[in-house]
């Protein structure tokens, strides 16, 4: 069917255009029309207007050219203003000779009037026009006030921390004292549990970070400077607050300080108003972890024994319960591995990363946190951890699992021992049996089902130190945790070996 419906707007425009296409004569009252007998010719429309200006009536009649008749249908030129101007446009000769009424002035029209796209505005639109921007302004003001108050509160909070923190204005740390001196002088009642908290904060806040030295599961490790000396700063993200708190808590266990356990200096939570930075400051060891060290260097027999003995000493101290008021609970590490042992300048080990450790309360025979079954690094998990047969109510089980991991670390060290000009390359335990990031299942198959352990080469038997190390490893790796050596036993065996080998430790 033919489309016969022409849009209504088009009809109106067409009608106006056809009416204005011919010349049209109109009455004209302007000065220019005096010469043409007060008339004008146009291709557009005739217009008459009556206005009231300062109480005076004004009547005007003019021609309007066609190009001014926009928009079609309702040209601007032909619109009146209520209470002020009456206008009439028309399209026949002299049609503007009519007398228009003088606009009537009414206060209501003055209030309710106004121009909108469709003509005059109603009261509702006017209210909206006035109230809308006002509302927006109020909203902006409110947001501004809220933001200002929030910042003030954050600022005050920071100020309060600074004021409350006695370290800022009261404490005086003697300039000539090193960290070691301070720790020795200020450690709470000489128990070795560390610096008082406000000194920890003072130290932490005056450290200048230098370079990032490592990244772990919980954050970054930086080298920092304090009074001309190096310190290590482990920075936890706010998400890891629990790990930060737990690690700081364990490090501050009374009597924990030991030459083979990483020296803890300070814990600090810095609130910068937006987020919290959690710092754990410790001794810095430029060799880095045992993993880093063995990757770089092979070791002499003496070096191997020193590393092994110092690691056993550290673990024996950690595991040991010391009775008495200045006593120390037994602590199991639960994440022992070559990456969590640092190598000191004197090539002795310092056990680090105590964040997953558990403490034993011998009075009640309980553990200080609810231990979850499988924490730590899968590659180093003992068979009973992998197959979940570990008795978690029994603190000794956790110590036995640490010993299994220590045996793996010994294997890593012994491979790098130079004996008769031979040493092997560095490898992680089970490097030949599992992929690089093994799953629990992959580890369990190898360690529990196939009962495989890292290879102890036959030629190690030809060298006393390696033979002893091999024997210790085997006795660390028994499937039955209770049958494994204790850290103290290993320490004694290796001490004897140092005498045998004439090694100074
Ligand atoms: N006190 C320190 N002195 C020198 N280097 C350190 C110190 N502490 C950590 N590092 C370096 O930073 C690295 C990262 O340590 P971090 O404990 O965060 O992770 P990781 O031990 O490698 O892995 P994981 O998260 O499994 O413990 C270490 O491997 C070591 O090289
Ligand atoms: Mg670590």
Tokens 């987020």 -> residue: 275
| N- to C-terminal Cα separation, the chain | 108
Instruction: Provide the pLDDT for residue 452.
Output: 98
**Mean pLDDT for the chain overall:** 84
Instruction: Provide the pLDDT for residue 21.
Output: 55
Instruction: Provide the pLDDT for residue 186.
Output: 61
- Overall average pLDDT of the 374-398 stretch: 93
- Overall average pLDDT of the 180-208 stretch: 73
CA-closest residue to ligand 1 atom 13 = 214
Is pLDDT of 15 > 80? no
Instruction: Provide the pLDDT for residue 106.
Output: 54
Ligand 1 center–CA 334 separation, angstroms:
16
CA dihedral (236, 238, 240, 244) positive or negative:
positive
- Predicted TM-score (pTM) above 0.85: no
Which of 42-51, 233-242, 383-392, 405-414 is the most confident on average?
405-414
Is pLDDT of 261 > 60? yes
Which of 7-16, 105-114, 496-505 is the most confident on average?
496-505
Beta-bridge mates of residue 477: none
* DSSP annotation string for 16-68: HHHHHSS-EEEE--SGGGGTTTSEEEESSEEEEEEEEETTEEEEEEEEE-GGG
Q: Which long-range contacts (CB under 8 A, 24 or more apart) does 343-348 make?
A: 343/285, 343/287, 343/288, 343/289, 343/290, 343/292, 343/293, 343/307, 344/285, 344/287, 345/285, 345/286, 345/287, 347/287, 347/303, 347/306, 347/307, 348/259, 348/260, 348/306, 348/307, 348/310
Which residue would you say has higher pLDDT here, 428 or 101? Answer: 428
With cut-offs at 50, 70 and 90, classify the pLDDT of residue 271: confident
CA-closest residue to ligand 1 atom 27 = 216
**345 annotated to a ligand binding site:** no
Which residues hold their Cβ within 5 A of ligand 2, which is an ion?
216, 340, 353
- Overall average pLDDT of the 226-250 stretch: 90
In CATH, 159-283 is 3.40.109.10: no
Ligand 1 center–CA 217 separation, angstroms:
10
The ligand with the least distance to the CA atom of 282 is 1
What's the rounded Cα separation, in Å, for the pair 354 and 218?
Answer: 12
The β-bridge relationship of strands 219-226 and 56-64 is unpaired
Q: Express as a percent the part of the chain with pLDDT over 90.
A: 49
DSSP 342: E
Are the beta carbons of 193 and 264 closer than 8 angstroms? no
Pocket test for ligand 1, best of 211, 215, 218, 221 (most atoms within 8 A of CB): 221
Contacts of residue 385, defined as CB under 8 A and 6 or more positions apart, other chains included, come to 373, 374, 376, 401
With cut-offs at 50, 70 and 90, classify the pLDDT of residue 128: confident
- Overall average pLDDT of the 395-407 stretch: 97
Is pLDDT of 256 > 70? yes
CA-closest residue to ligand 1 atom 2 = 284
For residue 217, the ligand 1 atom closest to its alpha carbon is: 25
Contacts of residue 415, defined as CB under 8 A and 6 or more positions apart, other chains included, come to 423, 424, 425, 426, 427
Contacts of residue 60, defined as CB under 8 A and 6 or more positions apart, other chains included, come to 29, 30, 47, 48, 49, 50, 51
- All structural domains of the chain with their residue ranges: 2-97, 159-283, 290-500
Which residue would you say has higher pLDDT here, 454 or 50? Answer: 454
In CATH, 290-500 is 3.40.50.10540: no
Instruction: Provide the pLDDT for residue 156.
Output: 54
- Overall average pLDDT of the 414-443 stretch: 95
User: Which of 165, 185, 283, 335 does the annotation list as catalytic?
Assistant: 335
Are the beta carbons of 192 and 180 closer than 8 angstroms? no
**Would you call 449 a catalytic residue per the annotation?**
no
Instruction: Provide the pLDDT for residue 11.
Output: 38
The ligand with the least distance to the CA atom of 217 is 1
Which residue would you say has higher pLDDT here, 98 or 9? Answer: 98
DSSP run (H or E) holding 8: helix 8-20
Instruction: Provide the pLDDT for residue 100.
Output: 84
Q: What are the structure tokens assigned to 412, written together?
A: 């890593």
Of 343, 288, 348, 493, residue with least CA distance to 407: 493
Ligand 2 center–CA 273 separation, angstroms:
29
For residue 337, the ligand 1 atom closest to its alpha carbon is: 21
Instruction: Provide the pLDDT for residue 112.
Output: 40
Q: Express as a percent the part of the chain with pLDDT over 70.
A: 85
CA-closest residue to ligand 1 atom 22 = 216
For residue 339, the ligand 1 atom closest to its alpha carbon is: 21
Instruction: Provide the pLDDT for residue 155.
Output: 57
Is pLDDT of 4 > 70? no
Q: Which residues contact ligand 1 via a Cβ below 6 A? A: 213-218, 221, 232, 234, 262, 282-285, 288-289, 292, 339-340, 342, 352-353, 377
Instruction: Provide the pLDDT for residue 374.
Output: 63
What's the rounded Cα separation, in Å, for the pair 277 and 285?
Answer: 23
Which CATH topology does 2-97 take? CD59 (2.10.60)
Instruction: Provide the pLDDT for residue 69.
Output: 84
Of 405, 287, 424, residue with least CA distance to 347: 287
The ligand with the least distance to the CA atom of 293 is 1
Q: What are the structure tokens assigned to 260, written together?
A: 């083979």
Query: What's the Cα-to-Cα distance from 83 to each of 64, 86, 356, rounded to whole Å?
Result: 23, 8, 86
Q: What are the structure tokens assigned to 329, written together?
A: 């609970």
For residue 234, the ligand 1 atom closest to its alpha carbon is: 18
Which residue would you say has higher pLDDT here, 236 or 79? Answer: 236
For residue 283, the ligand 1 atom closest to its alpha carbon is: 1
Which residue would you say has higher pLDDT here, 417 or 272? Answer: 417
CA-based angle 309:311:317, to the nearest 5? 100
Ligand 1 center–CA 405 separation, angstroms:
17
Ligand 2 center–CA 340 separation, angstroms:
4
Cα 63–chain centre separation: 74
Ligand 2 center–CA 259 separation, angstroms:
18
With cut-offs at 50, 70 and 90, classify the pLDDT of residue 150: confident
């Amino acid at each position: 069917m033919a489309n016969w419906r022409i849009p209504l707007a088009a009809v109106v425009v067409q009608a106006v255009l056809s009416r204005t296409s011919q010349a049209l004569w109109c009455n004209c009252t302007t000065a220019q029309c005096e010469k043409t007998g007060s008339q004008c010719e146009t291709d557009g429309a005739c217009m008459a207007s009556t206005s009231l200006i300062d109480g005076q009536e004004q009547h005007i009649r003019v021609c309007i050219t066609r190009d001014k008749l926009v928009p079609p249908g309702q040209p601007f030129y032909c619109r009146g203003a209520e209470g002020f101007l009456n206008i009439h446009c028309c399209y026949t000769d002299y049609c503007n000779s009519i007398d228009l009424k003088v606009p009537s002035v009414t206060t209501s029209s003055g209030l309710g009037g106004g121009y909108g796209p469709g003509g005059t505005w109603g009261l509702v639109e006017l209210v909206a026009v006035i109230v809308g921007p006002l509302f927006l302004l109020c909203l902006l003001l409110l947001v501004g006030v809220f933001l200002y108050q929030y910042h003030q509160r954050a600022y005050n909070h920071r100020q309060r921390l600074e004021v409350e923190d006695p370290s800022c204005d009261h404490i005086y740390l003697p300039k000539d004292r090193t960290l070691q001196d301070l720790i020795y002088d200020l450690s709470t009642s000489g128990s070795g549990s560390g610096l008082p908290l406000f000194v920890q904060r003072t130290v932490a806040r005056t450290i200048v970070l230098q370079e990032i030295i490592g990244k772990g599961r919980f954050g970054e490790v930086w080298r920092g400077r304090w009074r001309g000396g190096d310190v290590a700063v482990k920075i936890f993200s706010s998400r890891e607050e629990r790990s930060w708190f737990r690690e700081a808590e364990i490090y501050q266990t009374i009597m924990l300080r030991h030459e083979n356990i990483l020296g803890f200096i300070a814990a600090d939570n810095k609130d910068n108003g937006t987020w919290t930075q959690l710092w754990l400051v410790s001794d810095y060891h430029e060799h880095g972890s045992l993993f880093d060290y063995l990757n770089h260097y092979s070791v002499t027999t003496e070096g191997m024994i020193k590393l092994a003995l110092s690691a056993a000493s550290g673990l024996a101290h950690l595991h040991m319960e010391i009775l008495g008021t200045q006593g120390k609970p037994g602590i199991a590490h639960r994440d022992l591995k070559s990456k969590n042992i640092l190598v000191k300048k004197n090539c002795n080990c310092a056990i680090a990363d105590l964040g997953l450790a558990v403490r034993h309360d011998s009075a009640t025979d309980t553990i200080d946190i609810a231990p979850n079954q499988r924490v730590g690094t899968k590659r180093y998990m003992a068979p009973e951890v992998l197959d979940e047969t570990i008795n978690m109510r029994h603190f000794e089980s956790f110590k036995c699992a640490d010993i299994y991991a220590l045996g793996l670390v010994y294997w890593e060290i012994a491979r790098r021992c130079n004996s008769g000009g031979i040493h092997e390359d560095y490898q992680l335990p089970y490097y030949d049996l599992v992929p690089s990031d093994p799953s629990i299942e992959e580890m369990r198959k190898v360690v529990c089902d196939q009962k495989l352990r890292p290879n102890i080469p036959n030629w190690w038997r030809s060298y006393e130190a390696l033979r002893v190390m091999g024997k210790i490893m085997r006795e660390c790796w028994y499937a039955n945790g209770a049958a494994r050596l204790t850290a103290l036993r290993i320490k004694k065996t290796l001490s004897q070996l140092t005498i045998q080998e004439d090694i100074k430790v």
